[in-house]
């Protein structure tokens, strides 16, 4: 049996073809305007999935970059505080050497003791350095300071502040205040108090010089560790920037249009649409007289 092709069927088919040509033209025009070939998931389901995965990796890499920047700020604060502490220790050593001179008058020893007291207070300020409202020498402690005025350490031993700077890579960004400045009777604060007391009492402070040097060497050791971690952050930051650049290129390959190919496809769609318009105009006659011509 042969189905009869009616005028209504012809008109419907022509209209559908015309709409399809117009939809393709509009889609290509939208892609050319936005310079992206994925405006909605239906445009490319597999490409959409890959795009989402890459954007997820981008967010992780961006967080690693922010963590590295935050780590830089923490370690810079730690480095400055320890450097200042080393300078103060050096000054205290010079004063102690002066006080070790047996010919030093009581008034001069008192002046030296007062300056040692000032150094102790200055060391306490450095030991309580903070970044972002948190002590950089107290570990994960919520205390506002790492050391009390009497020099007692209030931090959490062994609890470190870490920043994740890459896949499976974390760096410590604080420092152990007890390791840098000592704790209890062996702290640098107790040592300064003892030196000041010896100067006032007239006792020989010569033996204290080696103790000061020992504290200074310990601070230098901790400073070296800070520098090593700072370098790790810089290397990780460069690696993260390179990773972000690679992700951006891969994302561009997935989402962006090939403009040369796009121009060809767009022109082809325009020709197809114009052709469809012409065919539809001929097929869809306006009246019975058009068929009788």
pLDDT at 39 over 50: yes
Is residue 2 a part of any domain in this protein?
no
| Range name among 6-15, 34-43, 201-210, 234-243 with the lowest pLDDT average | 6-15
Is residue 78 a part of any domain in this protein?
yes
pLDDT band at 31 (very low <50, low <70, confident <90, very high): low
Residue 168, CB-side half-sphere exposure with 13 Å CA sphere = 0
Site of tokens 């010569």 = 206
pLDDT band at 231 (very low <50, low <70, confident <90, very high): very high
Is residue 125 a part of any domain in this protein?
yes
pLDDT at 108 over 80: yes
Is residue 129 a part of any domain in this protein?
yes
Provide the 10 A C-beta neighbour count for residue 190.
Answer: 16
Is residue 284 a part of any domain in this protein?
no
For residue 272, give both structure tokens: 């197809």
Mean pLDDT of 220-246: 94
pLDDT band at 194 (very low <50, low <70, confident <90, very high): very high
Q: How many structural domains is the chain composed of? A: 1
Instruction: Assign residue 148 the CATH number of its domain.
Output: 1.20.1330.10
Q: Which long-range contacts (CB under 8 A, 24 or more apart) does 190-198 make?
A: 190/151, 191/215, 192/92, 192/116, 192/117, 192/119, 192/120, 192/123, 193/120, 193/151, 195/92, 195/96, 195/99, 195/113, 195/116, 196/113, 196/114, 196/116, 196/117, 196/120, 197/113, 198/99
Backbone angles phi, psi at 169, to 5 degrees: -130, 120
- Residue 292 confidence (pLDDT): 45
pLDDT at 222 over 60: yes
Between residues 174 and 10, which one has the greater pLDDT? 174
Nearest-angstrom CA–CA distance, 194 and 185: 10
Is residue 55 a part of any domain in this protein?
no
CA angle 147, 151, 157 (to 5 degrees): 50
Distance from the Cα of residue 230 to its chain's centroid:
14
Full domain range(s) for residue 201 = 61-251
pLDDT at 1 over 60: no
What is the gyration radius of the CA atoms in the chain, in angstroms?
38
pLDDT band at 41 (very low <50, low <70, confident <90, very high): confident
Is residue 285 a part of any domain in this protein?
no
Is residue 240 a part of any domain in this protein?
yes
């Amino acid at each position: 049996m042969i189905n009869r092709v009616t005028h209504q069927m012809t008109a419907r088919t022509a209209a559908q073809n015309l709409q399809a040509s117009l939809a393709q033209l509009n889609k290509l025009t939208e892609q050319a305007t936005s310079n992206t070939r994925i405006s909605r998931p239906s445009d490319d389901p597999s490409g959409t999935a890959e795009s989402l995965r890459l954007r997820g990796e981008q967010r992780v890499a961006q967080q690693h970059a922010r963590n590295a920047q935050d780590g830089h700020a923490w370690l810079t604060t730690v480095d400055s505080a320890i450097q200042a502490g080393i300078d103060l220790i050096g000054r205290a050593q010079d004063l102690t050497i002066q006080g070790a001179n047996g010919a030093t008058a009581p008034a001069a020893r008192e002046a030296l003791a007062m300056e040692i007291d000032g150094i102790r207070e200055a060391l306490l300020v450095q030991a309580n350095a903070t970044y972002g409202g948190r002590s950089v020498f107290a570990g994960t402690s919520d205390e506002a300071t790492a050391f009390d005025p009497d020099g007692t350490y209030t931090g959490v031993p062994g609890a470190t502040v870490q920043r994740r700077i890459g896949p499976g890579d974390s760096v410590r960004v604080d420092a152990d205040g007890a390791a840098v400045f000592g704790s209890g009777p062996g702290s640098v604060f107790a040592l300064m108090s003892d030196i000041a007391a010896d100067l006032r009492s007239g006792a020989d402070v010569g033996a204290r010089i080696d103790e000061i040097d020992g504290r200074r060497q310990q601070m230098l050791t901790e400073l070296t560790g800070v520098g090593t971690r700072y370098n790790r952050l810089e290397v990780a930051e460069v690696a993260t920037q390179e990773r972000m650049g690679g992700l951006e290129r891969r994302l561009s390959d997935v989402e962006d249009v090939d403009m040369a190919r796009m121009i060809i496809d767009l022109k082809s769609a325009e020709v197809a649409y114009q052709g469809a318009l012409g065919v539809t105009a001929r097929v869809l006659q306006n009246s019975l007289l058009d068929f009788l011509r």
